[in-house]
Amino acid sequence: MTSILTNDAAMSALQTLRSISSNLQDTQSRVSSGYRVAKASDNAAYWSIATTMRSDNSALSAVSDALGLGAAKVDTAYTAMDNAITVVQQIKDKLVAATENSVSKSDVQEEITQLQQQLQSIAQSASFSGQNWMFAANGASASVVSSFVRNNDGTVAVNSTSYSFNTGSHGNVLFGAKSGGGLDTTSGILGSKQTIGSKSYSVFSLDITNMTGGDIGKAMNLVQGALSALTSTSSQLGSLSTRIDLQTSFVSTLRDTIDSGVGKLVDANMEEESSKLSALQTQQQLAIQSLQIANTSAQSVLSLFKA
């Protein structure tokens, strides 16, 4: 039966066209944005996971920057410590030379004094971003951000690696720090004193002008002890630097892995979407033609009423 009031074919064709147009719009959105899941309505579970992991990845980016800052601080301290070792070694060499009776102890002391001033300069200059690890108050500490952690219960935390300062003769700073923040040349590896003859000396205050041969021998032991402490501290700083480098590499790899994982959840398969887009465009054209045919079919009724 043909009705001029109800066109079932047109309604069916229109419904098909609407469905195809909706699917085509979704496909075009995926192609233009690159996302299969761009909003919560696309897939609430995947969208939620992706949003959380992107937030964590942003935090890891900040951790990576903080690790770079920490590495710079440690590298600055290590460089200063390494230079201090070189200077103290030179002081030791001067003491060896001073054991020769024909050598003027006052001349040697003049050279030692210049080296001592250089040690002070190294300690005062080894600052990065307002922090100096070469002189500090005993018991003080510094920390370096090492990781961002999301716990199983959903809570998050930032972990850090601590480095405590010891101003003793076998500590890990060149000098101690005064309460006002200035350099305390009476403590630290280079400032801690030891009795030689009738007086007490540190590497920094060492004066061999009036020393006997035996006293110079004791002074050499004092300097050797300082060298051992400096070498030990350099090893600690080197180990910390290695730890930071490993963590930096891990954070970089972890960020890439998270990006890849999120991509697998929400990224569109462009080959698939391209193929689907072509098919839907063809279907849309056919649906439009079908609708046109359905709309014109009712006109055939007019021929029944022609004379």
Claim to verify: residue 25 and residue 156 sit in the same structural domain: no
Pair (253, 192) in one structural domain: yes
Q: Output phi, psi for 165, to 5 deg.
A: -100, 135
Least confident of 162-176, 233-247, 270-284: 270-284
Q: Which residues contact 293 (CB under 8 A, 6 or more apart)?
A: 9, 13
Q: How large is the average pLDDT for residues 61-86?
A: 92
Separation between Cα atoms, residue 53 and residue 265, nearest integer Å: 11
Assess if residue 109 is contained within a domain: yes
* 213 and 283 co-located in one domain: no
> What are the counts of helices (DSSP H) followed by strands (DSSP E) for the chain?
5, 9
pLDDT at 307: 55
First to last CA, the chain: 22
d(CA 24, CA 280): 6
User: Are 286 and 250 within one domain?
Assistant: no
> SS3 for 2-66, per residue?
CCCCCCHHHHHHHHHHHHHHHHHHHHHHHHHHCECCCCCCCCHHHHHHHHHHHHHHHHHHHHHHH
pLDDT for residue 1: 59
Count of structural domains, the chain: 2
Q: In this structure, are 99 and 189 located in the same domain? A: yes
pLDDT of 273 reads: 77
Are residue 156 and residue 220 in the same domain, yes or no? Answer: yes
Share of the chain above pLDDT 90, in %: 47
Residues 278 and 251 in one domain: no
**122, 95: one domain:** yes
Higher pLDDT, 273 or 168: 168
pLDDT at 125: 94
Q: What is the mean pLDDT of residues 234-241?
A: 93
Tell me, yes or no, whether 170 and 126 share the same domain.
yes
pLDDT value, residue 306? 67
Do 106 and 159 fall within a single domain? Answer: yes
Q: Is residue 173 part of a domain?
A: yes
Q: Is residue 50 part of a domain?
A: no
**CB neighbour list of residue 261: distance below 8 Å, 6 or more residues apart:** 53
In this prediction, residue 16 carries a pLDDT of 86
Residue 5, pLDDT score = 65
State the average pLDDT over residues 5-12.
76
Same domain, 23 and 151: no
Mean per-residue pLDDT over the chain, rounded: 88
DSSP 188-246: STTT--EEETTEEE-TTT---TT--HHHHHHHHHHHHHHHHHHHHHHHHHHHHHHHHHH
CA-to-CA dists, residue 109 to 38, 61, 149, 226, 235, angstroms: 75, 52, 55, 18, 30
The order of strands in the sheet holding 135-136 is: 135-136, 175-177, 183-184
Residue 49 resides in a domain: no
For the whole model, what pTM was predicted?
0.77
Contact of 247 with 144, CB cutoff 8 Å? no
What range defines the domain where residue 112 resides?
Answer: 63-265
* Model pLDDT, residue 165: 94
The token pair that represents 291 in the structure block: 């609708």
Residue where the block lists tokens 């039966």: 1
